[in-house]
Amino acid sequence: MRIALAKFGQETSSFSPVATTLDTFRLYGLYEGSEVLSRARGVGALGGFLDATASAQLQWTPVPLISAWAGASGVITADTLKFFEEKLIAGLQAAKPVDAFFFDLHGAGQAENEPDTEGHLLTISREILGDNVPIIIALDHHANLTQRMVDHADGLVAHRTQPHDPFDTGQLAGRMLIAQLRGEIKPTMAWQKIPMIAHQEQFLTSRGPMKEWFDLAREMETRPGVVSASTFPMQPWLDVPEGGWAATVVTNNDLALARKSAAELANKAWELREQFWTMDSISPEAAVRRAVQAERGVVILSDTGDSVFGGATGDSTTILAEMLRQEITQPALMTLVDPEVVEIAISAGIGSEISVKLGGKLDPHFGHPVDITAKVVQIGGGRLETVVIGLESFDMGRAVLLEAGNIMIVVSEARGVGGNHPIVYRHFGLEPANAKMLVVKTASNWQYYQEMTSEVIRVDTPGATMSRLHDFEWKHLPRPIYPLDELSEWAAD
């Protein structure tokens, strides 16, 4: 038995000014041939899929096509999408005949010439493989589910938790495909679009309305005939014609049950819509003051508007400016992307003092550079090897550690994972547990600091991933949509 394998993922913020190119993919992982497998072992959805086949003792030959992940940033250039399209076509044609295709996707990738990159790539895959070869996909639950994605996949599984669980997602998708290949089930899928969006502040699945919604999907999976239920709170910065939340249910050969169940999930999200709009974040001024006054650290300051996992540029200086304004006297850590300052610091050398305009340069709409004098403490960066958000490594480009009073700033050429993993500091010999406060460039993914965190404060900062969705200039979303429009009455079909 031969199963083709591929991975393609990028999460687009339509409001980010930084286009996604092949270079962006190279920073997070672009592999072909046998390296697709070696890089996937034990990590990500592809790793979970491999694990499921081993556990089920499936006798099969993997046919790896391509593995490409780009994290989150602005729209994908047309040339970049074309590259993957051509690789996919050539790879699938060379791989034929295959018995199945497992495609690990993110699901929220927008290209400048194609608002639905995954639907596009799945359509191509189906054309090449025909209707009788099962295609099973894994998705991030922040995906924007589209008609073409549903039409051309036999079944799908989305992440069950935020922070995400891509390995588990791959395992579950693997088990679904194995059951289908063994003739134990006939995956039958229905979906329901939900005319709503919500900001990121209630996105954690461990509490609040998101827990309630996801728990319903888990309960549904215990019902007879239901194979898998997926809930999709679309990431909120995707301005595309089919944008909006969704739910899917895969049953064993029961379309009526799939439809009814997907409608139930959709109606539940709609019922909870106002709760999803509860805002937790506070002003930068109040946030920094609270961090200073906290009895102990580490206080996490979540820079919600500059989430590198949501597609922002990672160079927002809003919180830095506030720390400087309040003249904080406690140790603080943060990261900023600024290739110019990296160059200046490396040229000046370790131990020298530089006066620069730092950060705030990549996003002309939101960016404000800060005038700062700092000491160059160390030079580092490059590819860092650690398991983080389903990746086995990432490349932050060259980086320098700057010291400005009590504030230690890792300035890098590329975003990497922002400062969202301790390795970014530890590779400079800096222990984040000793800081009083630490800025993360994410609104939800501070899990890698969990053991040392005393408190998390979400900061209401402007940027391409800000929670204030009403302030963006939406051009393509289907209207009416809650809560941008007056829409109080809605029910699933």
Q: How far is the CB of 154 from Zn ion (least distance, A)?
A: 23
Give the nearest distance from C-beta 309 to Zn ion in angstroms: 7
Q: How far is the CB of 150 from Zn ion (least distance, A)?
A: 19
Q: With CB under 5 A as the contact rule, which of the stretches 21-29, 138-146, 384-392, 484-492 interacts with Zn ion?
A: 138-146
CB of 227 to Zn ion, least distance (A): 22
Torsion of CA 393, 397, 400, 406, to 10 degrees: -60
The least CB distance from residue 231 to Zn ion, in Å, is 12
- Residues 270 to 299: which contact Zn ion by CB under 5 A? none
Asked if 239 touches Zn ion (CB under 5 A), the answer is no
Of 66-74, 97-105, 136-144, 436-444, the segment contacting Zn ion by CB under 5 A is: 136-144
Cβ proximity to Zn ion, 318 vs 445, nearer residue = 445
Q: Which is it for the CA torsion 164, 319, 460, 455, positive or negative?
A: positive
Query: How many chain residues are in contact with Zn ion, going by CB under 5 A?
Result: 2
Judged by beta carbon, residue 142 or residue 152, the one nearer Zn ion is 142
Stretch of 132-140, 400-408, 414-422, 436-444 lying at the interface with Zn ion (CB under 5 A): 132-140
458 is a site residue for Zn ion (CB under 5 A): no
Length of the chain: 493
- 353-358 and 370-388 as β-strands: parallel, antiparallel, unpaired? antiparallel
Phi first, then psi, for residue 277 (nearest 5°) are -95, 10
Give the nearer residue to Zn ion in terms of CB position, either 142 or 160: 142
Which C-beta is closer to Zn ion: that of 402 or that of 417?
417
Return the range that interacts with Zn ion (CB under 5 A); candidates 62-70, 135-143, 295-303, 319-327: 135-143
Q: How far is the CB of 176 from Zn ion (least distance, A)?
A: 20
Within 183-212, the residues that bind Zn ion by CB under 5 A are: none
Interaction between residue 106 and Zn ion (CB under 5 A): no
Distance CA 357, CA 319 (A): 15
- Asked if 140 is part of the footprint of Zn ion (rule: CB under 5 A), the reply reads yes
Q: Which residue is nearest to Zn ion (CB)?
A: 142
Q: What is the token pair recorded at 426? A: 């530890």
- Supply the minimum distance, in Å, between the C-beta of residue 122 and Zn ion: 19
Cα distances from 343 to residues 18, 317, 337, 347, 376, in angstroms, run 20, 19, 12, 6, 11
Q: Which is nearer to Zn ion, 25 or 237 (CB)?
A: 237
| Segment interacting with Zn ion, rule: CB under 5 A, options 139-147, 338-346, 374-382, 439-447 | 139-147
Task: Return the half-sphere exposure (C-beta side, CA atoms, 13 A cut-off) of residue 72.
Answer: 32
- For residue 223, the one-letter residue type is R
Q: Are strands 391-404 and 370-388 parallel, antiparallel or unpaired?
A: antiparallel
Tell me the residue type at 225: G
- Closer CB to Zn ion, residue 238 or residue 332? 238
Q: Is 142 in the site for Zn ion (CB under 5 A)?
A: yes
Please state the closest distance from residue 418 (CB atom) to Zn ion, in A: 15
Q: Judged by CB under 5 A, which stretch of 16-24, 116-124, 142-150, 293-301 contacts Zn ion?
A: 142-150
Contact positions toward Zn ion, by CB under 5 A?
Answer: 140, 142
